[in-house]
Amino acid sequence: MTPPLKRVLLFDSGVGGLSVFDAIVEAGLPVEIDYVADAAWLPYGEKPDDALRARVPALIAALERAEAPDLVVLACNTASTIALAETRAAIAVPVVGVVPPIKPAAALTRTGVIGVLATPATIRRPYTDALIREFAADVHVIRVGDAGLVAAAEAKLSGAGAPSAAIADAVAALFGAPRGDALDVVALACTHFPLLREELAAAAPRPVAWLESGAAIARRVAALLGLASVDGAPTPRLALSTALAPGFQRACRMRGFTHVAELEFDSAPRGAGSSRSVPPDA
Ligand code: DGL
């Protein structure tokens, strides 16, 4: 008898974690996937650190109770760089965090100039400082905390198209910075941003490497779950959001999620709980 598939819960503030879903598809991992967005709180990158440190572990703990995943991916740099330890402490199953790919960017650069493109919160985090100190001490790092690209990625996946002004602003901030003329690698340090890779590359003044974390996360998931075979395909199970918008539904349905529902979550101390309703297919 075939053993049941392991269940992976991918969590992000919005559609950004779908870039990690796409990497899991690409890697051929035979797992069941639940996708959860906390869109009621989108964007995380403009929320106070303390508020995220309290909300994210409580929400994930409620999801662990309700959906019984075998592993959780905190598919959000902004949440991982502030609440990874707290989330691990809050649940029993392994938590894989997604953090800025500064180490591979520093290893790849030939010019010694890399960019880190993140949310305004991630870019100023001590966690990010520590990654730069540890892995990029001998390269010049152009840090860009961008407030517009998350909304641009949400717009693109909703079918409205990514606003070109937001893309142009991010590209100008990277390449127009001191030493931007030598930039050759950009670490995409928000899971929303790989969803805009084509637009960013097209707007850039010249080709550079745009690095994302998805493939490394997929390898880590396979290793932690002991998946020997990686020539399968994930099975989408549930897509939930704390604020269900048509764009989210569209993006998830395009990836094969047939059950898309609103997630009710109450973070009051009387005991967080999530309830979901899974309506019949619209
Ligand atoms: N996708 C999230 C990240 O990786 C951030 C999006 C947001 O600001 O809500 O950082």
Per residue in 213-259, pLDDT (tens digit) is 999 999 999 999 999 767 889 999 999 999 999 999 999 999 999 99
State the pLDDT at residue 274: 47
CA proximity to 251, closest of 19, 7, 70: 19
Check whether 39 has a pLDDT greater than 50. Answer: yes
- Please check whether residue 282 lies inside any domain of the structure: no
Check whether 273 has a pLDDT greater than 90. Answer: no
Identify the domain containing residue 243 by its residue range. 6-98+215-277
How many residues does this entry show for the chain?
282
- For residue 87 and ligand 1, the question of a CB distance below 6 A is answered with no
CB half-sphere exposure, 57, CA atoms < 13 A:
18
Task: Check: CB of residue 245 under 8 Å from CB of residue 39.
Answer: yes
- Residue 213's identity, in one-letter code, is S
20 and 62 both lie in a single domain: yes
Distance 277 CA to ligand 1 centre (A): 26
The pLDDT mean for the chain works out to 93
Residues 52-70 have a mean pLDDT of 97
Check whether 76 has a pLDDT greater than 60. Answer: yes
Q: Based on the structure, what is the number of domains in the chain?
A: 2
190 catalytic residue (yes or no): yes
Check whether 277 has a pLDDT greater than 90. Answer: no
State the pLDDT at residue 276: 62
226 and 90 both lie in a single domain: yes
19 and 49 both lie in a single domain: yes
Give the integer Cα–Cα distance in Å for 23 and 83. 23
Residue 54 maps to which CATH number? 3.40.50.1860
108 and 81 both lie in a single domain: no
pLDDT in tens, 167-180: 999 999 999 999 99
- For residue 81 and ligand 1, the question of a CB distance below 6 A is answered with no
76 catalytic residue (yes or no): yes
What is the end-to-end Cα distance of the chain in Å, rounded?
34
Whether this model's pTM surpasses 0.75: yes
178 and 222 both lie in a single domain: no
86 and 223 both lie in a single domain: yes
91 and 220 both lie in a single domain: yes
